[in-house]
A = this chain, B = another copy of it.
Amino acid sequence: MLAKPAKGRNDLVPIGVVAQRTGLAVSAIRYYEERGLIASVRTGGNQRRFLRSDIRRLSFILIAQRLGLGLAEIERELASLPHGRTPTVLDWQRISRSLRGEIDARIQLLTRTRNKLDECIGCGCLSLDRCQLYNKEDRAAAAGPGPRFVLD
């Protein structure tokens, strides 16, 4: 059983509830806490209690991950959000818009790639020398640190 499904009007939820509501593994949630993406308070018996708003925070993390952001980037976005207070609609809107920018960029990149690939299918080359689709200058330029993005 899942440690009491809200008795009366309890804002602090145990980790299992958070896990169930987000679909995350308990271990993942603990990991995120360790990474500083979310915070918790402890009970007398040293058990974590999360605010309900942390479920949203995690929801955001999951969405951002789907967009290919690494936890470090996500942390940066989240840095502007207050821990322990339900974020405002404006908060979410700003971040959502920022994510939208990410998606746009990604779609553009893919579209360009597809166009190049179409040319390549025409000529059947895939040669490093001649093919637009790939050349090592691009790659060297685009390298840099950070997590591996698809098509970046």
Task: Give residues in A with beta carbon < 8 Å to B.
Answer: 21-23, 55-56, 59-60, 62-63, 66-68, 89-90, 92-93, 96-97, 99-100, 103-104, 106-107, 110-111, 113-114, 117-118, 120-121, 124-128, 131, 133-134, 136, 139-140, 149-151
Report if A127-B96 is in contact (Cβ < 8 Å); known contacts: A113-B66, A134-B66.
Answer: no
- In the complex, are the beta carbons of A126 and B68 less than 8 A apart? no
In the complex, which residues of chain B have a beta carbon less than 8 angstroms from the beta carbon of A99?
A: 117
In the complex, which residues of chain B have a beta carbon less than 8 angstroms from the beta carbon of A66?
A: 113, 134, 150-151
Once bound together, how far apart are the Cα atoms of A150 and B152, in whole Å? 12
Per assembly, the copies of the chain total 2
When C-beta atoms are compared, the residue in chain B nearest to A125 turns out to be B92
Shortest distance in angstroms between A103's beta carbon and chain B's nearest beta carbon?
5
In the complex, which residues of chain B have a beta carbon less than 8 angstroms from the beta carbon of A100?
A: 114, 117-118, 121
Residue among A22, A104, A121, A139 with the highest chain B CB neighbour number at 10 A: A121
- In the complex, are the beta carbons of A67 and B134 less than 8 A apart? no
- In the complex, are the beta carbons of B150 and A90 less than 8 A apart? no
